[in-house]
């Protein structure tokens, strides 16, 4: 009788512990990422790479999950997170499709600096209203921390040109600045620094606009989404405390 009771007790303990154990989740987590070197990109072997991507993979593995990764434009990732076809994102939580469809982590994994680039001195961009009446060069698919909707609102009298790559945007800044007085390129500093190592732009000016926090974001369409996010954040904290 004692052995039977011990068996029953052990069974229920295992059952209860399995509820909060990542082994209870058979689903492979699908990570969405954008081509945003050096933070996230696809390397020459077709594998996900980059400083932020390495953090995401190491954290998810530490949390006990299998993973796969897919590179897509940011807006597409936002839509697929909303439907549950992509499970995890590490980056800004400002994509409009995230609202009401995702859980956002508390931990700040990295900070992303947004700034305005000009050729020669121009009045600095410090707030949204400073964009009014300007001509902007922007990257297609970026939310710019929620600024894109303001930029594209005709009421704000902002002319904008969109580009698929950072290189093309900076090349056009160099060409058009000779003809347009109020021309600005909005871009993030990390990818800009890489481009500017190869592209010479005399009298290039930069002013920092803001710094955005980057978080783990999990789709609500996934079973046990909150628990999964908790496991990921716990793993990130453990890695941070150990210096990894």
Instruction: Read off the pLDDT of residues 130-172 as tens digits, 9 standing for 90 and up.
Output: 999 999 999 987 888 889 999 999 999 999 999 999 999 999 9
Best CA proximity match to 29, nearest among 81, 77, 87: 87
pLDDT over 70 percentage in the chain: 89
Give tens-digit pLDDT for 48-91.
999 999 999 999 999 999 999 999 998 899 999 999 999 999 99
Q: Based on the fold, state whether residues 48 and 29 are members of the same structural domain.
A: yes
Q: Which pairing describes strands 88-91 and 204-219: parallel, antiparallel, or unpaired?
A: antiparallel
Q: Based on the fold, state whether residues 184 and 122 are members of the same structural domain.
A: yes
Q: Based on the fold, state whether residues 125 and 225 are members of the same structural domain.
A: no
Q: Based on the fold, state whether residues 64 and 124 are members of the same structural domain.
A: no
Q: Is the pLDDT of residue 20 over 90?
A: no
Confidence at residue 26, expressed as pLDDT on a 0 to 100 scale: 53
Q: Report the 10 Å Cβ neighbour count for 217.
A: 25
Spatial separation of the C-alpha atoms in residues 167 and 114, rounded to whole Å = 17
Provide the token pair at 4.
């039977």
With 0-12 / 13-18 / 19 or more C-beta atoms within 10 angstroms meaning exposed / middle / buried, residue 172 is middle
Best CA proximity match to 160, nearest among 179, 182, 145: 182
Confidence at residue 12, expressed as pLDDT on a 0 to 100 scale: 39
Confidence at residue 101, expressed as pLDDT on a 0 to 100 scale: 97
Best CA proximity match to 65, nearest among 230, 221, 240: 230
Confidence at residue 1, expressed as pLDDT on a 0 to 100 scale: 43
Q: Which residue has the higher pLDDT, 80 or 22?
A: 80
Provide the token pair at 188.
């993030």
Q: Based on the fold, state whether residues 9 and 123 are members of the same structural domain.
A: no
Note the pTM of the prediction, 2 decimals.
Answer: 0.72
Residue with tokens 């050729």: 119
For the chain, the distance separating the N- and C-terminal CA atoms, rounded to the nearest angstrom, is 49
Q: Which residue has the higher pLDDT, 220 or 6?
A: 220
Q: For 12-21, what is the mean pLDDT?
A: 38
Give the CA radius of gyration of the chain.
Answer: 22
Q: Based on the fold, state whether residues 74 and 100 are members of the same structural domain.
A: yes
Q: Based on the fold, state whether residues 14 and 105 are members of the same structural domain.
A: yes
Q: Is the pLDDT of residue 123 over 70?
A: yes
Task: Convert 39-85 into a string of H (helix), E (strand) and C (coil).
Answer: CEEECCCCCEECHHHHHHHHHHHHCCCCEEEEECCHHHHHHHHHHCC
Q: For 218-243, what is the mean pLDDT?
A: 95
Average pLDDT taken over every residue of the chain: 88
Q: Which pairing describes strands 110-119 and 204-219: parallel, antiparallel, or unpaired?
A: antiparallel
Q: Based on the fold, state whether residues 218 and 104 are members of the same structural domain.
A: yes
Q: Is the pLDDT of residue 111 over 50?
A: yes
Confidence at residue 244, expressed as pLDDT on a 0 to 100 scale: 79
Q: Based on the fold, state whether residues 143 and 157 are members of the same structural domain.
A: yes
Give tens-digit pLDDT for 169-204.
999 999 999 899 899 999 999 899 989 999 989 999
Q: Based on the fold, state whether residues 99 and 192 are members of the same structural domain.
A: no
At 103 the three-state DSSP class reads strand
Q: Is the pLDDT of residue 27 over 80?
A: no
Q: Based on the fold, state whether residues 18 and 93 are members of the same structural domain.
A: yes
Q: Is the pLDDT of residue 14 over 80?
A: no
Q: What is the CATH number of the domain that holds 198?
A: 3.40.190.10
At 122 the three-state DSSP class reads coil
Residue 25 confidence class, pLDDT cut points 50, 70, 90: low
Spatial separation of the C-alpha atoms in residues 102 and 97, rounded to whole Å = 9
Q: Based on the fold, state whether residues 29 and 92 are members of the same structural domain.
A: yes
Q: Which residue range forms the structural domain that includes residue 46?
A: 2-110+213-241
Q: How many domains does the chain have?
A: 2
């Amino acid at each position: 009788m004692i052995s039977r009771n011990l068996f029953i007790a052990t069974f229920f303990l295992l059952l209860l512990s399995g509820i909060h154990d990542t082994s209870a989740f058979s689903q492979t987590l699908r990570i969405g990422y954008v081509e945003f070197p050096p933070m996230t990109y696809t390397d020459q072997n077709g594998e996900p790479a980059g400083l932020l991507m390495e953090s995401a993979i190491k954290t998810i593995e530490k949390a006990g999950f299998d993973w796969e990764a897919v590179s897509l434009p940011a807006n597409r990732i936002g839509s697929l997170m909303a439907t549950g076809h992509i499970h995890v994102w590490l980056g800004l939580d400002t994509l409009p499709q995230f609202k009401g469809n995702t859980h956002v982590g508390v931990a700040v994994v990295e900070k992303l600096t947004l700034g305005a680039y000009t050729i020669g001195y121009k009045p600095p961009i410090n707030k949204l209203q400073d964009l009014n009446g300007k001509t902007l060069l922007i990257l297609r698919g970026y939310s710019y921390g929620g600024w894109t909707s303001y930029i594209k609102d005709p009421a704000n009298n902002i002319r904008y040109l969109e580009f698929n790559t950072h290189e093309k945007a900076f090349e056009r800044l160099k060409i058009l600045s000779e003809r347009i007085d109020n021309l600005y390129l909005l871009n993030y500093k990390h990818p800009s620094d890489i481009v500017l190592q190869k592209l010479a732009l005399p009298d290039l000016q930069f002013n920092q606009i803001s710094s955005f926090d980057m978080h783990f974001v999990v789709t609500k369409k996934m079973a046990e989404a909150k628990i999964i996010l908790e496991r990921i954040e716990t793993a990130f904290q453990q890695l941070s405390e150990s210096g990894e």
